[in-house]
Amino acid sequence: MLAIAQFTPLFLAILICWIFSVCVHEFAHALVAYWGGDRSVVEKGYLDFNPFKYIHPVTSILIPAAFLMMGGLPLPGGAVQINSAALRSKHWDALVSVAGPASNFMLFLLLAVIVHPSTGLIDPNAAQQPTWATVAGAMCVLELWSVLFNLIPIPPLDGFGILEPYLPHDTVRQVRAYGMTPLILIYFAFNADPVMKGFKNACAGIMDWFGLPFETTWRCYNYALFGSSE
């Protein structure tokens, strides 16, 4: 995962698709917040699906591009400001956090259908896929990674947001006092071979459960980022 990606038109297509994915993720947070009682998301323009409402030039483009170039998961992304006090209950608060990873999982399922062997659109054993299939396969990997990574229960990830409404205030305050440090440590821990191997095995297990060969999407990911089908 420490290999350097190639900045090619294919890589650029992946980055554009990822930015769109970030918008879907943040839109899902805002939509569930609206359903839960936070009307401020309308005033802030979060329900217009306007990318410029979510995208920050540094955290949504430059940093993700740099992480992708290093062969890693393109986090962080956008962000929406939710008024938790306006939500009807702590359960809605938790659901707002669930919505982000859920949207990524839905995107994964959509992409998985496109490149699934049962559709007959691609040859899963081919060393190289058509460009559209390569992008779809690579995004399958990235979307599923995003789901699993975001569910890690540390701030500011959604996994912690799901638990936060049910935790004592003192615990939340103590955990958040560390700021971004736990996230940075976790992120770079993913470059350790044992951690990455376990993460890859988890992704492979989920894809295999859906009948989608992980080898196929992994070849797409490697080709899109590194120009190699290994």
Place 63 in a pLDDT band, splitting at 50, 70 and 90. Answer: low
Q: Which of 26, 43, 143, 230 is catalytic?
A: 26
**pLDDT score of 59 more than 60:** no
User: Can you tell me the distance from the alpha carbon of 28 to that of 18, in angstroms, rounded to the nearest whole number?
Assistant: 15
pLDDT digits (tens, 9 = 90+) for 106-153: 999 999 999 999 988 888 888 788 999 999 999 999 999 889 888 988
Would you call 26 a catalytic residue per the annotation? yes
For residue 221, give the nearest of 89, 59, 71 by alpha carbon.
Answer: 71
Question: Is the preceding peptide bond at 130 cis, omega within 30 degrees of 0?
Answer: no
Cβ atoms 27, 79 nearer than 8 A: no
User: Can you tell me the distance from the alpha carbon of 176 to that of 160, in angstroms, rounded to the nearest whole number?
Assistant: 10
- With both helix axes pointing from N to C terminus, report the angle between 90-115 and 131-150 in degrees, rounded to the nearest 10: 150
Mean pLDDT of 218-225: 88
Cβ atoms 140, 73 nearer than 8 A: no
Q: Which amino acid is at 3?
A: A
Question: Model-level pTM?
Answer: 0.87
pLDDT digits (tens, 9 = 90+) for 29-44: 999 999 999 999 999 8
Tokens, residue 222: 């490697």
